Amino acid sequence: MGRRKKIVQECERLMDEPENIRNIAIAAHVDHGKTTLTDNLLAGAGMISDETAGEQLAMDTEEDEQERGITIDAANVSMTHEYEDTNHLINLIDTPGHVDFGGDVTRAMRAVDGALVVVDAVEGAMPQTETVLRQALREGVKPALFINKVDRLISELEEGPQEMQERLTAVIRDVNDLIRGMTEEMDDIEDWTVSVEDGTVGFGSALYKWGVSMPSMQRTGMDFGDIIDLERADKRQELHERTPLADVVLDMVCEHFPNPIDAQPMRIPRIWRGDADSELAEQMELVDENGDVVLMVTDIGVDPHAGEIAAGRVFSGTLEKGQELYVSGTAGKNRIQSVGIYMGGEREEVDRVPAGNIAAVTGLKDAIAGSTVSSAEMTPFESIEHISEPVITKSVEAQNMDDLPKLIETLQQVSKEDPTIQIEINEDTGEHLISGQGELHLEVITQRIERNQGIPVHTGEPIVVFREAPQQESREVEGISPNRHNRFYISIEPLEEDVVETIKMGEASMDMPELERREALMEAGLDKDAAQEVETIHNTNILIDDTKGIQHLNETMELVIEGLEEALDDGPLAAEPVQGALIRLHDARLHEDAIHRGPAQVIPAVRQAVHNALIDAEIRLLEPIQEVRIDVPNDHMGAASGEIQGRRGRVDDMYQEGDLMVVEGVAPVEEMIGFSSDIRSATEGRASWNTENAGFQVMADNLQPDQITEIRERKGMKTELPEAINYF
């Protein structure tokens, strides 16, 4: 334990010297060797034993990561390294390379100032290399390059010094082309290309633990000739001892990546839209440990003992136990229970963590990945732009009813840890819907629920939720109660789009004073008489009472509303929610005797009248649509736009942006299932895309009957539609 304690004390001392801190991420295409490299660095810094480095995958802590052999969660680790007689504290985040977990990469970039991009010497720059570089540069994070698996060029491809040099030069050129293309529009970035001469490129083999760079060759006198000789003679251990990988990479990190003092003045304006002349802006740019506390949470993890742990970058102030801090987007304050830093993959509690560091905090119960946490109320940081949005939804149900409360709790926890997951707990169907980045994403999440929480779950096929809406004005329709003593006369017409929007945005609701509500509705285009007689608003539907002096109607109104809500929650076509209907109650005949106009009479009568009026108003199914944006190199543009058009979609715009073409369009959500694998194969993996929900649109008439039947079947309803619905 003695040695570990020493390291912890050294880290604590270094935390206070921001000029000797480096916050970096390692990012690369999947399987290019990031995690093996991280192990090496830890071993080199004395954090894990030298022998097991590269095999123990210290960073892939979750079982599923070990099984699939890929990194799923970004992992934080800290180490110390002596460079030019000064000890440095290096906080490193190992990020996933798989595209479905791109959200983790984007969040990690927010916490760091430098990105070590790892590229496989044999494969060269790949699509995901391009994506991670773009994510880094967009966040104002400076890149450096490490070309890994160079041993394969010598042993498998048997290349000589000349061929090797040509191949490595080509990789560097490709990476620099990417960097140039992405930074030409950015005024605040000088030349960030990498080069061997400057020492911003390293080469080596993470598996065999050796590495070289221009500065290291000058220091050790080892050149590529020597390396080839030793590698061919199988003297890999000697190679590792003479030019250890960790020293080469950590030297490069200390020399070429900016420390927080240099980085923050440039990064703050890129990621924060608050007042640039404020005292707070100055404190963040100066990395002022005595300023207001500002912590950007980039990751939420769960420790079985300590509960939720929020990890993130401290941009100003000093975090201490017991502080009461604001969390952006939530009311009240959270109290910090402990603060710590990472040592290797372990969290070590410390008394305080000053600005410029990556900290791990417990007690921030309201924080999610992406929250801004601060001691004074402040403009939060820019929301982290995820490169992809949830595109697919599945239902998750507990196999045993007893597990239900625990399942709901787990799902809420999942959405906190991973903001790219959306959870909807659907009271109507008892299904819990979970939406994510792609099939793999949801698969991993549901597997974790089963494994970590021990809750067996059923997952359904991917589903899409529809809506129903009237298209024209109906006649006046009569609804009769089962005992034939009560009659309601109702007509329905579609609401104006603006009125629906106003209700959706909460600008007109039953909770507001009547006058305000009336004005908001009239402003949105509802006529004055209607706006005065609004009886209730349900979802985006309005009930208007056009009756005059009917006896007993007041005491019956509650039941009328109940019948109406039932009818609107399950539309007549496929029991999907109705939206945008204006319902007018023109007249009613009610039985004298309260006993004959109870719930069993009124509710069915109103429900029947509403459904028949909706059918007369030619109600149609609406399907959810998504806006799609695809960024793709020129030569794949046709393939990308074809992918949208082939899905009943339309392409609205194409334009050049930097070195890429952007294709924008819309397509139905239902047709977007399976999009990710199709677009990848259509563009050879060169496209990055994101989708955003764009509301609902009426589905084409020729598709309506089949879709309605399909939903009715899924819900176990009768598949025959009422006679009256033959207007398609």
pLDDT one-digit tens code per residue, 497-549:
999 988 876 778 887 788 889 999 999 999 999 999 999 999 899 999 999 98
d(CA 638, CA 577): 38
Q: 535 is written with which tokens?
A: 């009886």
Each residue of 613-670: pLDDT tens digit?
999 999 999 988 888 888 888 888 889 899 999 999 999 999 886 677 889 899 988 8
Each residue of 402-448: pLDDT tens digit?
777 777 777 776 766 665 667 776 655 556 777 765 555 566 667 76
Residue keyed to tokens 């935390």: 15
CB atoms within 10 A of CB 654: 15
Contact assessment for residue 34 and residue 42, using Cβ atoms and an 8 Å cutoff: no
Coil, helix or strand at residue 230: helix
* Amino acid (one-letter) located at 177: D
Q: What percent of the chain has pLDDT over 90?
A: 25
- Residue 99's pLDDT band (cuts 50, 70, 90): very low
d(CA 101, CA 576): 33
Residues contacting 69, CB < 8 A, separation 6+: none
Picking from 61, 41, 62, the residue whose alpha carbon sits closest to that of residue 50 is 41
Residue keyed to tokens 């004074």: 376
Rounded mean pLDDT, 86-95: 81
d(CA 334, CA 339): 13
Picking from 728, 712, 655, the residue whose alpha carbon sits closest to that of residue 720 is 712
Least confident range from 19-28, 336-345, 658-667: namely: 336-345
| Terminal alpha carbon distance of the chain | 77
- The kind and range of the H/E element at 232 are helix 224-232
Rounded mean pLDDT, 199-224: 85
**269 pLDDT exceeds 80?**
yes
**464 pLDDT exceeds 80?**
no
In the sheet with 422-425, reading across from the earlier edge strand, the strands are 422-425, 432-436, 392-398, 457-459
Rounded mean pLDDT, 687-713: 83
Exposure pattern of 329-357 as b/e (b: 16+ CB <10 Å)?
eeeeebebebbbbbbbbebbebebbbbbb
Exposure pattern of 36-72 as b/e (b: 16+ CB <10 Å)?
bbbbbbbbbbbbbeeeebbeebbbbebebbeeeebbb
Contact assessment for residue 252 and residue 202, using Cβ atoms and an 8 Å cutoff: yes
Residue 30 is predicted with a pLDDT of: 54
**16 pLDDT exceeds 80?**
yes
More confident residue, 154 or 609: 609
Residue 616 is predicted with a pLDDT of: 94
- What is the 3 state secondary structure string of 343-397? EECEEEEECEEECCCEEEEECCCCCCCCCEEECCCCCCECCCCCCCCCCEEEEEE
Least confident range from 50-59, 262-271, 447-456, 663-672: namely: 50-59
Contact assessment for residue 227 and residue 210, using Cβ atoms and an 8 Å cutoff: yes
Residues contacting 485, CB < 8 A, separation 6+: 591, 596, 597, 601
d(CA 28, CA 609): 61
Does this model's pTM top 0.85? Answer: no
* Amino acid (one-letter) located at 489: Y
d(CA 205, CA 201): 14
**206 pLDDT exceeds 90?**
no
Coil, helix or strand at residue 272: strand
